[in-house]
Structures are given as C-alpha cells and as structure tokens.
Amino acid sequence: MPSFNQSTAHPIVFFLTGIPGLETSQVWISIPFCCLYAIAISGNSMILFVIITESSLHEPMYYFLSMLSFTDLGLCFSTVVTVLGIFWFNVREISFDACIGQMFFIHGFTFMESSVLLVMAFDRFIAICNPLRYAMILTNSRIIAVGFAIVIRGTTALVPLLLLLKRLSFCHSHVLHHSYCFHPDVMKLSCSDTKINSAFGLATVISTAGLDSVLILLSYVLIIHSVLCIASKVERKKAFGTCVSHLSAVAIFYIPMISLSLVHRFAKHAPPFVHTLVANVYLLIPPVMNPIIYSVKTKQIRKTVLKVFFIKPS
C-alpha cells in the first residue's frame, strides 16, 4: 500500500533534484554522466565475465574482486534510472515507497561494498603474513559463506533504519537535494522528531563502514609490520605491490563517503549544486574506477581482459 502524509492523507511524493542552477543545460550535463555509467557498467561486467570464464582466476582474491564488481553494478543500477530520468526527461517525482526501495538498494550495496573491502584486506593479510595456510584458510566453502554473510549484513542493518523512516510525517518541503533518495536527505524533510532516526543511522554507519575502516587499517598495520620483516628488498616491493590495487579501491570508496558526510554536516550553506555534485561523485567514482584500477594494476586481470578482445598481451 502507498504511504500517506499523516497531516493531509495524501500519498507522499518527493521531488528529486538535478544540478541546481543548471536546469537548462541538463541534457548536456547528462552526457558525462551517461559515459560514466556506461564505463562503470561495462567495466564491472567485464571483470565479472573474465573471472567467471577464466579458470586461472578461480582463486580467493579474484572471487572477492567479483564480489566488489557485483556491488558496484548494484550501486549503478540503483541510481541510473532516477539520475538519467531527471537529465533526459525531467522526471523528478518519486513516491515514498519507491524512495524507500531505492534507499534500501543504495545503502545496502554501499554497506556490502564496505564489507567486501574488509574481506579483501583480510585476504591480503593472509596471503602476505601466512601464505602457507592461505589455501587452507580461504576454501571455496568459506568464500561462499563469506559472500552470504556480506549480503545478510548489508541488508539486515537497513531494515530497522527504513522502518523507523516510515513512521515519520512529512508536512513541509518534499524537495530532495540529490538525484536519488539518500537517507539523511529524506530524514531532514520530516516535521517529526528524528532524534531516534539520527541516532540509529549513526550507529548503523559506525557498526558497518566505520568498523570496517578500522579493521582494514588494523590489517594493513599488521601487513606493513610483516613486510618490513622481510630481508629482501625485492620481496618487500613485490608484497607491497599486491596491495596497491586494494588500497586504491579503499581510498576511492571512503574518501567520497567521508566528503559527502562532511558536506551534509558542515556545508549546509554551500551552493546547492555542491551537495548534488558530491553525492553523485560518492556513488559513481568507485564503480567507474575499480575496474580500471584492477585492470591496470593486476597482471592476471589485464592479460585476461586483453585476451577477451583478441589482443596479445605484452
């Protein structure tokens, strides 16, 4: 059933925002966005394809990379309809229930990506600090169990958050500041008391992405300590080299997330287009950059991708 505004008994409809102040140029602005979505979707689909079809890539590291590509595809498909719908057709209306659904997928895939990055850090830790037990620890059955755990963690954390949002009343402006539904943005439009929502939202972020970032940092402290104990400079460089791609993925995931949080909290009086631009960068940069990073920095992925295009790798 559709959700109704308690004060008017009318279905709740929100209005999404394109790029404020540049409404007349939205068709032109859509070109780079369309290109970014095309790069993200084709790049992550290619990574998934080569890992599934190439038997030499059926190893824990690449299974986790396929999980990363899957979450990136999920993020792209969660927003592409509303973002390009605004730019191409000026379709800004979205019902409250559809908004809840979009938030479920956006935040769910975001939490899942954070979990995948943590698992990939653990993978690098085992590979460098305990290589002899690597295959024994990361068996196929355990990798499958980890995959299910990532999905369950990413979705169950959101259910109470969204149920709390549905109890709120919206009797003021229904204009959102982004091209998609974002939990803090929707919550700000409520005329009800949102202290519980804010507290639970903060607790959810801390217990997922916040905890993951701390554990990733701890993993790399242990990795660095282990690598520095290696006598050979060549072996140290090789060990650090295996972490470059993952560290890059961590940076392009957490830096936009932190930037968006800071903009929401401390840049309330910034020009409206700043909020929209940072919000789109937050969701588009990781899916665009991850396939590029792993294709360039990971030799096995690069060779297989080139082989798919019938190009002999050098």
Per-residue pLDDT band for 7 (boundaries 50, 70, 90) equals: very low
Tokens encoding 126: 């085992």
Of 26, 40, 34, nearest to 291 by C-alpha is 40
Of 141, 39, 15, nearest to 90 by C-alpha is 15
Per-residue pLDDT band for 311 (boundaries 50, 70, 90) equals: low
- Does residue 82 register a pLDDT over 70? yes
- Does residue 1 register a pLDDT over 70? no
Cα angle, residue 172 at apex, residues 170 and 177 outer, rounded to 5°? 90
118, 153 in Cβ contact below 8 A?
A: no
Tokens encoding 176: 């959102």
Q: What is the dihedral of CA 79, 157, 97, 166, to 10 degrees?
A: -140
The residue-averaged pLDDT of 71-86 equals 95
Distance, in Å, from the CA atom of 51 to the CA atom of 68, rounded to the nearest integer, reads 12
pLDDT (0 to 100) of residue 297: 84
42, 256 in Cβ contact below 8 A?
A: no
Looking at every residue in the chain, the average pLDDT score rounds to 89
Kind and range of the H or E run holding 162: helix 159-166
Evaluate the CA torsion angle 37, 40, 44, 49 in order and state its sign: positive
pLDDT (0 to 100) of residue 184: 87
Tokens encoding 138: 């990361």
Distance, in Å, from the CA atom of 43 to the CA atom of 45, rounded to the nearest integer, reads 5
60, 119 in Cβ contact below 8 A?
A: no
Distance, in Å, from the CA atom of 314 to the CA atom of 300, rounded to the nearest integer, reads 12
In the chain, at which residue ranges do the beta strands (DSSP E only) sit? 13-15, 93-95
pLDDT (0 to 100) of residue 170: 87
